[in-house]
Chains A and B, each alone.
Chain A
Amino acid sequence: MTGIRISNLVKQWDDVRAVDDVSFDVPQGRLTVLLGPSGCGKSTILRMIAGLEDASAGEILIDGRDVTREDPSRRGVSMVFQSYALFPHLSVRENILFGLKVRRVPVAEQEKRLAEAAHMVGLGDLLDRKPANLSGGQRQRVALSRTIVANQPVCLMDEPLSNLDAKLRAEMRDEICALQRKLALTMVYVTHDQIEAMSMADQVVLLKDGQVEQTGTPSELYEMPRTTFAAGFLGMPPMNVLRMDQLSGAGMPKGAVPKAEPGCMLGIRPEHIRIAGKGLPVEVASTDYMGAETVLRLRHADEVVMARIHGRPQVVAGDRLNIAWAADEIHVFDETGTRRGSPDT
């Protein structure tokens, strides 16, 4: 059964097409991340699912029911906003209960859900505070509780962690994931942060310029990027995408550099590059020591190659050395930037 089905969704603002014929499925009870750079239309898609924006064309189905023109409150969705959208004059308790009061849920039921939600996110003793007296993480928890008490099958999240510091962000990532699994929520999560996407998602929908670039599990996106954009968006540092006619296979393992075709690109992840006795000659431009590993910025002709080397290699800027990689680690893209089948052998 399908949680949410988006088909041929379009959003047109005057002369800008923010969302351009987007289709994907969100499996029920799973966490789907809409990932992309800012301005790629991911938030607009989320807002159209919520019903806060009208779709210019296309359909949105939730649990098989066409909700494209449905009122937002009758779609069975709850939403966490980037700014949390807490009512500043209401206490935490009133903020959490706001939706239940609107929907005239019986008071006993309200109290029960409130207690459950507050316990689940650890807000128990903060219920009488105003949002202004809460930390960023606590506000985030209030926003999450609102989602929990709403008891809606679908939960939409619009960059919920972008206002938090790095440590808290990692913590909240785990909590959101745990919550999603515990409540078996169908969750659509918008972010521009690839770490959030990789670590949280069951499925990633990668967007670029209002179009779907690739859909798949995080490992599919990482290991089999369909385009050079996908290859460059995921990974820290991203995949090296090199012009093939600049490379020569001399000294490399067989198949590591396939025969050059005009416009073709070769992709290689930085962690798959190793320093070798013979191979591609490069000059070290800079080194970034990270502790467990070192990121080298290498130069070969006009190309810049990033390499992640385990530990602390004995190189300094200006050194010349050779690098190599295995034949089964390469990705080949044609002149349009689209992946060529599986790596050439």
Chain B
Amino acid sequence: MRHVHGWLLLTPAAILLVSFTHYPTIATVINSFFSKGNSVRPSRFIGLGNYEAMTQDPIFWKVLFNNMWFALGTIPTSIGLAIIMALAVNRAMPGRSFVRMAYFTPTILPMIAVANIWLFFYSPDIGLIDQITGWFGFSSHNWLGDPDTVLSSIIVMTVWKEAGFFMIFYLAALQHIPPELGEAAKLEGASRWYYFRRVVFPLLMPTTLFVLINAVLNSFKLVDHLFVLTKGGPDNASNLLLYYIFENAFSYFDTNYAATLTVVLLGLLAVMALVQFFVLDRRIHYR
């Protein structure tokens, strides 16, 4: 009788998990083994055919490398900035809560609104950046229209948006470090940098792991900004994996190929999460 109650309590969560996580995952994997169907030729099982096609697809490799650069460009910078901002606002100073709020604002704003703001910043001639550089005599530049600058432009915007969000976690972690530790270090003559390196940063490592996993996930999850800003262009220069999946599924209606790409994305994320947990976790001190 008791295990019946147990199962009844678990059921609501289980239904949600199964219908929105487990079933779609399995369905995706199954779909990826089938060909794209149409009214003339119905979808049929083709084994690893989609995966073969994927390895031949130059756009797939392009978005994969784009995604790698995007991750490398956004993750270390936003984490570094987040720590610096958290340290800056973790002391007594005038207008502290205002500054904290200002740092956090990008996180509160809806993604679409953020993208629109930055669209204005990046517009050639009339955009904010071009107007400012114009005063110093630089010629105008189409930041989002140039394949050489479009990915960097998106990276800058993403760092701006993520750093404030990560700052909140670092701020919370900093406030858990007892001030006596700093005082003890000060009595020994430790410089602020030495104290940060030997004490604060190691004590922040659990937060860093958490933030790192989030940052990696976010770097593969970006769709809405691309949708507003570039649609992945020009010439796929700013296309990222998830947006490419989105395009395949909802623009080209090739859901089977999209499923194949999704399986690859899931595999990538799983591998990275495992590496982070098993390699980094051992070196981290948890209180």
Spell out A's residues near B (CB within 8 Å). Answer: 50-52, 71-74, 77-79, 81, 83, 85, 87-90, 98-99, 102-103, 130, 132, 146, 150
Q: Which residues of B contact A87 (CB under 8 A)?
A: 181, 198-199
The reply to whether B180 and A98 contact each other, CB–CB distance below 8 Å, is: no
A83-B178, A89-B285 known; A102+B202 contact, CB < 8 A: no
Closest-CB distance, B208 to chain A (whole angstroms): 13
A81-B180, A81-B183, A87-B181 known; A98+B188 contact, CB < 8 A: yes
Of the candidates A74, A78, A85, A132, the one whose C-beta lies within 8 Å of that of B183 is A85
Query: Can you give 28 contacting A-B residue pairs, CB < 8 Å?
Result: A51-B187, A52-B183, A52-B186, A52-B187, A71-B189, A72-B187, A72-B189, A73-B188, A73-B189, A73-B190, A81-B180, A81-B183, A81-B184, A83-B178, A83-B180, A87-B181, A87-B198, A88-B203, A89-B199, A89-B202, A89-B203, A98-B185, A98-B188, A99-B187, A99-B188, A99-B189, A103-B189, A150-B188
Say yes or no: is B194 at the interface (Cβ < 8 Å to chain A).
Answer: yes
Spell out B's residues near A (CB within 8 Å). Answer: 178, 180-181, 183-190, 194, 198-199, 202-203, 285, 287
Q: Which residues of A contact B187 (CB under 8 A)?
A: 50-52, 72-73, 77-79, 99
In the assembled complex, the Cα of A15 lies from the Cα of B203 at a distance in Å of 36
Of the candidates B188, B203, B287, the one whose C-beta lies within 8 Å of that of A102 is B188
The reply to whether B202 and A103 contact each other, CB–CB distance below 8 Å, is: no
Residue of A78, A79, A102 with most partner-chain B CB within 10 A:
A102
Q: Residue on B with the closest CB to A81?
A: B180
Of the candidates A51, A79, A130, the one whose C-beta lies within 8 Å of that of B184 is A79
The reply to whether B189 and A102 contact each other, CB–CB distance below 8 Å, is: yes
Q: Residue on B with the closest CB to A98?
A: B188
Closest-CB distance, A54 to chain B (whole angstroms): 13
The reply to whether A102 and B180 contact each other, CB–CB distance below 8 Å, is: no
State the 8 A-B residue pairs at the shortest beta-carbon distance, nearest first. A73-B189, A99-B188, A89-B285, A85-B180, A85-B184, A102-B190, A102-B188, A81-B180
Q: Which residues of A contact B183 (CB under 8 A)?
A: 50, 52, 79, 81, 85
Q: Which residues of A contact B202 (CB under 8 A)?
A: 89
Q: Which residues of B contact A78 (CB under 8 A)?
A: 187
In the assembled complex, the Cα of A294 lies from the Cα of B181 at a distance in Å of 46
In the assembled complex, the Cα of A130 lies from the Cα of B194 at a distance in Å of 21
The reply to whether A73 and B199 contact each other, CB–CB distance below 8 Å, is: no
The reply to whether B184 and A102 contact each other, CB–CB distance below 8 Å, is: no
In the assembled complex, the Cα of A88 lies from the Cα of B198 at a distance in Å of 11
Q: Residue on A with the closest CB to B187?
A: A72
The reply to whether A85 and B189 contact each other, CB–CB distance below 8 Å, is: no
Q: Which residues of B contact A77 (CB under 8 A)?
A: 187
In the assembled complex, the Cα of A74 lies from the Cα of B189 at a distance in Å of 8
The reply to whether A103 and B188 contact each other, CB–CB distance below 8 Å, is: yes
Q: Which residues of A contact B185 (CB under 8 A)?
A: 98, 102
Q: Which residues of A contact B180 (CB under 8 A)?
A: 81, 83, 85
Q: Residue on A with the closest CB to B181?
A: A85
In the assembled complex, the Cα of A85 lies from the Cα of B202 at a distance in Å of 16
Residue of A50, A51, A83, A89 with most partner-chain B CB within 10 A:
A89
A79-B187, A88-B287, A130-B285 known; A102+B181 contact, CB < 8 A: no
In the assembled complex, the Cα of A81 lies from the Cα of B202 at a distance in Å of 22
In the assembled complex, the Cα of A42 lies from the Cα of B226 at a distance in Å of 61
Closest-CB distance, A156 to chain B (whole angstroms): 9
In the assembled complex, the Cα of A98 lies from the Cα of B199 at a distance in Å of 10
Q: Residue on B with the closest CB to A94?
A: B198
The reply to whether A72 and B186 contact each other, CB–CB distance below 8 Å, is: yes
In the assembled complex, the Cα of A130 lies from the Cα of B178 at a distance in Å of 17
In the assembled complex, the Cα of A51 lies from the Cα of B186 at a distance in Å of 9
In the assembled complex, the Cα of A8 lies from the Cα of B285 at a distance in Å of 45
Q: Which residues of A contact B199 (CB under 8 A)?
A: 87, 89
Q: Which residues of B contact A89 (CB under 8 A)?
A: 199, 202-203, 285
Of the candidates A52, A103, A132, the one whose C-beta lies within 8 Å of that of B287 is A132
Q: Residue on A with the closest CB to B285?
A: A89
Q: Which residues of A contact B178 (CB under 8 A)?
A: 83, 85
Q: Residue on B with the closest CB to A156?
A: B187
In the assembled complex, the Cα of A71 lies from the Cα of B189 at a distance in Å of 8
Q: Residue on A with the closest CB to B195?
A: A102
In the assembled complex, the Cα of A284 lies from the Cα of B178 at a distance in Å of 50
In the assembled complex, the Cα of A52 lies from the Cα of B180 at a distance in Å of 10
In the assembled complex, the Cα of A73 lies from the Cα of B195 at a distance in Å of 14
Residue of A74, A83, A85 with most partner-chain B CB within 10 A:
A85
Given A89-B199, A98-B190, 5 new contacts (CB under 8 A): A50-B187, A72-B187, A88-B285, A98-B198, A130-B285
In the assembled complex, the Cα of A89 lies from the Cα of B284 at a distance in Å of 8
In the assembled complex, the Cα of A72 lies from the Cα of B202 at a distance in Å of 24
Closest-CB distance, A105 to chain B (whole angstroms): 11
Q: Which residues of B contact A85 (CB under 8 A)?
A: 178, 180-181, 183-184
Q: Which residues of B contact A51 (CB under 8 A)?
A: 187
